[in-house]
Amino acid sequence: MAAVRDVEIDPEGTFKYILVRLQRRGGGEQRDIVRGTKAAEFHNHIFEKVNPEMEKLGYECKCLGGGKIEHNSKDKKIRVFGLSTGYGKADHSVTVEILKKEYTDYEITWSDDKK
């Protein structure tokens, strides 16, 4: 699982994100990852890109929900909020903990706000 990065999000802007649980086929170790991009019009577009990539590596994927990320690299701030109509709201507190591992010098917050 070390080959898979915990976080892959756009370096700037406000965009949709999903929280994905990876698991080795047949059970065993599992891990949650965060993926987000402005290129995705809908949350399922992110999952449709991530799922085949992870299947090639031998993982099963489950989307745990989604939301939005506001990434301000200049001020080193990330805000996690909102929800996915299709997948429901991700546990933003889990997302923030994952983001903190990657963006150690950032101020990272979350809320249940829609905007």
Has 92 been annotated as catalytic? Answer: no
Q: Which of 43, 45, 71, 92 is catalytic?
A: 43
- Known binding residue 16? Answer is yes
Query: How far is the C-alpha of 54 from the C-alpha of 20, rounded, in Å?
Result: 11
Is residue 19 classed exposed, middle or buried when 0-12, 13-18 and 19+ CB atoms within 10 A define those classes? Answer: buried
Question: Could you tell me which residues are annotated as the binding site?
Answer: 16
Question: Could you tell me which residues are annotated as the binding site for substrate?
Answer: 16
Which residues are catalytically annotated? 43
